[in-house]
Amino acid sequence: MPRARSPRAACSALTRAGGPPGLRAIAALVAAALLGWAAVSPASPPDDGAFQGQNTRFSWAGELTQGGFIRGLAPDGAVAVTVGGTPVAVAEDGSFFAAFDRDAPATVQLKAQLDSGQLHREALTIAPRQWQIERVATAKRSGGGSDEAYWKIREPEYNAITAARAQRTGATGWRQDFIWPVKGRISGRFGRQRIYNGEPGAYHSGIDIAPGHGVPFVAPADGVVVLARTGFSLEGGLIIIDHGSGLNSAFLHASTIAVREGEAVMQGQPIGNVGATGRATGPHLHWSLMWGDARLDPLLFTGPMN
């Protein structure tokens, strides 16, 4: 997997992002989440570029590709930041997280409204991916999605998932390098899609790992459990963890759940066991990552499995 890195990225953004955030940063994130908008960065000197070490531009590092993400540092004096039109929460130290949907366009605009009144903008080039597309000569299964009886069951489930994903806990796992929740055979990759007689089906929204029934899996990064319930018709035993800054993980088909809603979890902490609950043909963990409405490729967060 090629790693697209900005040459400027090696400097401040990542070293700052690596350390434990202070309470003030957390407070800023919470404030940003409550406002639904970027936090105000600390008072900074006038933006005349004469001060050494002053950030007059964005810096970032990450995976500039569809399904990828960046961790970055906003220019000094940024009072509001958007990526591709989506408001981004900026921590008090100026760092932020942003990500690119599976179907993100080739260019995404990075914009900062500065306290000087100026608008600073930079363009990000997002590399396209070659998704695994399978054309089949059968009709698309209806799946019962339009059926009234089905929706009666599905609607409360859907609402619970949507509400959980909308929670903003101030978690800071978004700053960490993610680890694999469990290692094993990868039985389904992110983005894979079937085309039925020319009609596209829904693409695979996560990665499937099949280490065997009952194998424990762990939190890939710090976070707060925003949903942990069994019995979902599609997902079965479902855990959703908020990693902060709008980034969350979902873990499907669990046979058992080891955490409770509202609980803070640490990277590497066991959270459940692999199963085949809900709609699953065999025991596996489906792990998906979302940032707002953008669906992301977990493999870009962890790197290849060793």
Q: How far apart are CA 144 and CA 247, in angstroms?
A: 30
CB of 305 to Zn ion, least distance (A): 16
Residues in contact with Zn ion, counted by CB under 5 A, come to a total of: 3
Looking at the Cβ atoms of 168 and 253, the one nearer to Zn ion is 253
Identify whether the C-beta of residue 174 lies closer than 8 Å to the C-beta of residue 245. Answer: yes
Identify whether the C-beta of residue 95 lies closer than 8 Å to the C-beta of residue 13. Answer: yes
CB of 67 to Zn ion, least distance (A): 15
Looking at the Cβ atoms of 63 and 208, the one nearer to Zn ion is 208
Which residue matches tokens 């605009």?
109
Q: How far apart are CA 201 and CA 206, in angstroms?
A: 15
Question: Which residue from 76, 92, 101, 208 is in contact with Zn ion, where contact means CB under 5 A?
Answer: 208
Q: How far apart are CA 205 and CA 215, in angstroms?
A: 22
- Is residue 297 close enough to count as binding Zn ion by CB under 5 A? no
Rounded to whole angstroms, what are the CA distances from 179 to 109, 270, 295? Answer: 29, 12, 18
58-66, 104-112, 203-211, 235-243 -> range binding Zn ion (CB under 5 A) = 203-211
CB of 188 to Zn ion, least distance (A): 5
Q: Which two tokens stand for residue 151?
A: 């929706």
95-103, 115-123, 201-209, 222-230 -> range binding Zn ion (CB under 5 A) = 201-209
Q: How far apart are CA 5 and CA 134, in angstroms?
A: 31
DSSP state of 280: -
DSSP string for 163-183: HHHH------GGGSPP--SS-
Looking at the Cβ atoms of 94 and 191, the one nearer to Zn ion is 191
Distance of CA 100 to the CA centre of its chain: 9
Question: Which residue from 102, 168, 286, 295 is in contact with Zn ion, where contact means CB under 5 A?
Answer: 286
Q: How far apart are CA 285 and CA 294, in angstroms?
A: 21
x/- track of binding to Zn ion for residues 159-198 (CB under 5 A): -----------------------------x----------
16-24, 96-104, 208-216, 289-297 -> range binding Zn ion (CB under 5 A) = 208-216
Radius of gyration of the chain (CA): 20
Looking at the Cβ atoms of 188 and 216, the one nearer to Zn ion is 188
CB of 249 to Zn ion, least distance (A): 13
- What is the largest distance, in Å, between two alpha-carbon atoms of the chain? 66
Looking at the Cβ atoms of 176 and 255, the one nearer to Zn ion is 255
123-131, 156-164, 254-262, 283-291 -> range binding Zn ion (CB under 5 A) = 283-291
117-125, 179-187, 204-212, 291-299 -> range binding Zn ion (CB under 5 A) = 204-212
* Binding stretches for Zn ion (CB under 5 A): 188, 208, 286
